[in-house]
Structure 1
Amino acid sequence: MNVVIIDTGSANLTSIKVAIKRLGYNPIITSEPSIVLRSNKVFLPGVGTASAVMKFLFDKGLVNIIKKLTQPILGICLGMQLLCSFSEECEGVKTIGVMKSSVLRLRAHNLPLPHIGWNKIKFNYSHPLFKNIINNSRFYFVHSYIVPINTYTLSTTDYSVNFSSVIQKNNFFGVQFHPEKSGNIGSQLLKNFLEM
C-alpha cells in the first residue's frame, strides 16, 4: 500500500513517519502532486501557522490536488483545521475548504493556552476510526485554535469549551490531537485509519 505524508513545510513529519513505520508500513514524505494522487492513504500534518502552511501548499500546487482526493486522508492538528474553509488565525486565513466550517481561537476561561497535554475524546457512536478504542480515552493535544462542533463532528473534547476533536466528511478525516504522540491508543487510531 502506498502511504503518503504530505510535506507541509512544517516540523513533526518524522515522528508521524516513525509511528506509521511501527505499524508495518513504509510511508513517503512528499510534496509532489503526482505521488500524492497515486497514494492509497494520505496524511496531512501541520505544525505552526495556517498562513505559512497554506502558502507552502499553494506554492507546491497541492491545494486543488487535496480537494480532489478520493482516497482516505487524515489531517492531524493544524492539518485538520486546514480542511475547513477559514481560520481566525492572523486576522483571517482562507484554508482548503473541504468542510464548511470556520476555525476559531480557543477561548478557554481561566485555563492556560495553548491547550497542551492529555485530554479525553468523547464519541457518541461507533465508527471504524474508533475500533478497539474505549470512549473517553485520552490523547495528546497541542493547539490554540478549535473547530466548533458541527455536522462533521465524530468526537468532542472539553477544555472549558467543547470542541471537535475528530471530524469527517466522506473520505476526509481530521483529528485535533497528535496520534503519533499518544502512545498505544494513538497507534491504534493510526492503525484503524490505515486499515479502513
Structure 2
Amino acid sequence: MDVAIIKYNSGNVLSVLYALERLGINANLTDDVEEIKKADKVIFPGQGEASSAMRYLRERNLDQLIKDLKQPFFGICLGQQLLCEYSEENDTECLGVFPVKVRKFPPADKVPHVGWNSLQETQGQLLEGINTHDYVYYVHSYFAEIHPEFTVAKTHYIEDFSALLQKDNFYAMQAHPEKSSHSGQKILTNFLKL
C-alpha cells in the first residue's frame, strides 16, 4: 500500500510516520504533487499556525490538489482545521472541503485544550470499534464547529466541537490518533482499510 503524508511546513509528521511503521506501513513524506496523486491513501497531519501552513500549500499548488483528490484522505489536528472553510487563527481562508468555521476556545486561561477526552455520538467506518469509553489525545487552541451533516463524532471541552468530520473521501480529526494509544491505533488501522 502506497501511503503519502503531505509535507507542508508543519510539525508532528514524524510521530505519524512512526505510528504507521508500528502498523507495518512505510509511508512517504512528500510535497510532490505527482507522488501524492498516485498514493493509495493520503494523510495530512500537522501542528502549527493556519496562515503560514496555507501559504506553503498555495505556493506549491497543493491547495487545489488536495481538494481534487479522490483516494481516502485523513486530516489530523491542524490538517482537520485547514480542510474547513475558514479559521479565526490569523483570519485565514482555508481549503473549504468542509463548510465549517474554525474558532478559538474562550476564555484564554483554559487554552490550549491538552489531554484525553472521549468521543461522543460516533458514526462511520473510521470509528468502527471505538466507543464512548475510549479516549483520544488532544492538543489544540482552535476547534471546528459542529456541522449537522458532516460531524460524525463530537468532543466536549468548554463547548461541543467536531472531533471528526467526514465528507465523501475526506476524513478529518482534531485529536492525534498517532498519540492516542490503542484507540488511535484502531482509528489509523480503520483508515488504512478504507
- Taking structure 1 as the reference length, the TM-score comes to 0.95
**Residue 142 (structure 1) aligns with:** 139
* Alpha-carbon separation, structure 2, partners of 1:16 and 1:119: 20
Give the aligned residue type for 2:138: F
Q: Does 1:171 align with 2:191?
A: no
Q: Does the 8 Å CA contact 1:123/1:154 hold for their aligned counterparts? A: yes
Q: Does the 8 Å CA contact 1:86/1:102 hold for their aligned counterparts? A: yes
Offset at 1:100? 1.0
Q: Does the 8 Å CA contact 2:100/2:146 hold for their aligned counterparts? A: no
* Alpha-carbon separation, structure 1, partners of 2:133 and 2:43: 24
Gaps of 5+ in 1: none
**Residue 96 (structure 2) aligns with:** 97
The 5 A counterparts of 1:8-157 are: 8-90=8-90, 92-107=91-106, 112-125=110-123, 127-150=124-147, 151-157=149-155
Q: How many residues align?
A: 193
**Structure 1 segments (4+ residues) deviating >2 Å:** none
1:35 aligned counterpart, secondary structure = helix
1:182 to 173, 180, 183: 180
- Taking structure 2 as the reference length, the TM-score comes to 0.96
Q: Does 1:3 align with 2:3?
A: yes
1:155 aligned counterpart, secondary structure = strand
Give the aligned residue type for 1:99: F
Give deviations 1:8-45, integer Å, cap 9, x for gaps. Answer: 11111111001011111110000000000000100001
